[in-house]
Structure 1
Amino acid sequence: MDLSGLLGLLLALLAVVGAVQLDGGELGQLANLPAAVIVVGGTLAAAAVQTPSAEFRYAIRLMLGLFRSSLPDCRSGLSQLVGWCELARRHGLLALEQQADQLDDDFTRVGLRLLVDGGTVDSLRATLEIEMVTREQRDLQGARVIESMGGYAPTLGIIGAVLGLIQVLGNLSAPEQLGSGIATAFVATVYGVGLANLLLIPLANRIKAYVQARYQYQEMVLEGLMLIADGHTPQALQRRLMGYLQ
């Protein structure tokens, strides 16, 4: 996740903590382990029930991996494609084989190797488009799973609050403890609403934005590799792909 995302999470946390402090409350009032177990555990359980196990595990990995991911840089990718085009025109497509071995991006590496192997433009497009669409659909499904968790969390928060109130009302013999008991019960609601609206739903939307940006980047790479295969000049390639930088 880039700096803006991390700053957003930090700002959300500071807003909640600051509101409690400004209202004269204590941060200890927000600490409630049973409420956290009900909200977090119940949300994960509900998502696991509605989702096949493989998709659920992938969605969790996708959510955790987002904190280590950054948006692809189309400008850098275009410069790389222009360099490969120059190299191919000077020394032939086989000169790109060493470039493929140095790439960390699986999609670009596969495409470059297909280009070196002398495959047709149609086979290059078909292979890479299958990879693009399959990865996009899988990641979007993962985002939908996380988004559904954002829908369950507030409801689990209400369940936690009701359970807390049941405990409070069952102990009416100590009326002096009712105020603090009711306040503790509603902490679960705060956890549920906060988890949904400050973390899960924003993360799901961020994954969707990341998937869209990655698809656009891969589309640019695919078009660039096809232009290299057709023997276009570096200048023509750059002119054709400049629109992706917008």
Structure 2
Amino acid sequence: MDLATLLGLVLGFTLVVLAIITSADLGLFMSLPSLLVVVGGAFSAALIKYRIQSYLVALKEGCLTAFFERNDNPREIIALANRLSRIARRNGLLGLEDEPIDNAFFAKGVQMCVDGSAPEFIQEVLQKEMILTMERKSLAEKVFRSLGDLAPAFGMIGTLIGLIAMLNNLDDPTKLGPGMALALITTFYGSLLAQLIFIPLADKLEMKSDELRNNMSLIVDSVMGIYNGMNPQVLDELLETYLPEYQRGAMNMTEEIE
């Protein structure tokens, strides 16, 4: 589980609730009609923007990615590529057949090498899978970003509804204050949901997509380097370009395969 996502949400809502209860009654901020306008309106408008199947898949994919999915450490991918390249140079590509590879994308590429597929075909298949995977990830990010844009808008719509109802009671001054407070609650809900849930989740999905794209490109280069029998040290130099400067040259990947 991605503890940063969960911790951020819990901490954010806790601080907001504490701020409310230290200055006012928490019950004043509870309004089911306002919540229905904001949440129902935002999710309904987003549903109009996307196909229903894509919409539902994107919501599921987005939640799973934001809360549970963890991308592999690129240094571990490079270390694995180094080990596999040494085995391949010593025993041939068939020597990789029984090697344990946890990353499914990497395992697919290595298996295609073992099966004797042409290098052009291997690269084409891996790159196509990478493109389609990133499209699915980007759709989830777009849906959550759309919700982040829509929630404040529907918060304003709810406020307008409340103001209309309040202005209808101008003959009773005692109802103006509570009516104004109730009208503003929807704006509060829209801003809170957008800034604490939808937009941060969209940014988290974008960040993880960038990490995944970097890892998949790294794996494609690793597989092609292994297939072509590249020297492990040369392969390391190639793959370390995917790492930030301060991490390069700090990897101990020169162990001999027993």
Q: TM-score by structure 2 length?
A: 0.85
Match of 2:80 in 1: 80
Letter in 1 for 2:17: V
- Equivalent residue, structure 2, for 1:127: 125
Partner of 1:67: 67
Query: 1:14 matched to which residue of 2?
Result: 14
Verify the 8 A CA contact 2:158 2:186 in the aligned structure 1: yes
Q: Which amino acid aligns with 1:38?
A: V
Correspondence list, 1:152-231, <5 A: 152-171=150-169, 175-231=173-229
Tell me by how many angstroms 1:228 deviates. 0.7
Q: C-alpha distance in 2, partners of 1:147/1:124?
A: 35
Letter in 2 for 1:63: G
AA aligned to 1:243 is T
- 1:170 Cα deviation after fit: 4.0
**Residue among 140, 148, 169 paired with 1:142:** 140
Structure 2 CA distance, aligned partners of 1:26 and 1:75?
A: 51
Residue 34 in structure 1 maps to residue 22 in structure 2: no
Q: Secondary structure at the match of 2:187?
A: helix
Tell me, yes or no, if the aligned pair for 2:58 and 2:136 is still in contact at 8 Å.
no
Q: CA deviation at 1:137?
A: 2.3
Q: Which residue is 2:255 aligned to? A: none
Q: Which runs of 5+ in 1 are unaligned?
A: none
Helix, strand or coil for the counterpart of 2:229? coil
* Matching residue's letter, 1:135: T
Higher mean C-alpha deviation, range 170-179 or range 189-198: 170-179
- In structure 1, the residue matched to 2:235 is 237
| More divergent stretch after superposition (88-97 vs 70-79) | 88-97
| Higher percent of residues as helix | 1
Aligned mates of 1:149, 1:162 — CA distance in 2:
20
- Please state whether the residue corresponding to 2:117 is helix, strand or coil: coil
Aligned partners of 2:29 and 2:98: how far apart in 1?
Answer: 56
Per-residue deviation, 1:54 = 2.4
User: What is the letter of the counterpart of residue 208 of structure 1?
Assistant: E
CA contact (8 A) 2:106 2:223 kept: no
Please say if 1:5 is aligned against 2:20: no
For structure 2, which runs of at least 5 residues remain unmatched after alignment? Answer: 245-258
CA deviation vs aligned residue, 1:6-47 (integer Å, no higher than 9, x gap)? 33323422342233244x212222221111111111101001
SS at structure 2 position matched to 1:186: helix
- For residue 115 of structure 1, the aligned residue among 113, 116, 128 is 113
- Aligned residues: percent identity? 33
Aligned length: 243
**CA deviations over 1:146-167 (Å, ceiling 9, x no partner):** 2122111111111112223333
* SS across alignment from 2:70: coil
Aligned equivalents of 2:162 and 2:95: distance in 1?
A: 69
Check conservation: 2:3, 2:67, Cα contact below 8 A. Answer: no
Give the structure 1 partner of residue 57 of structure 2.
58
Shift of 1:221: 0.8
SS in 2 for 1:98: coil
2:43 corresponds in structure 1 to 44
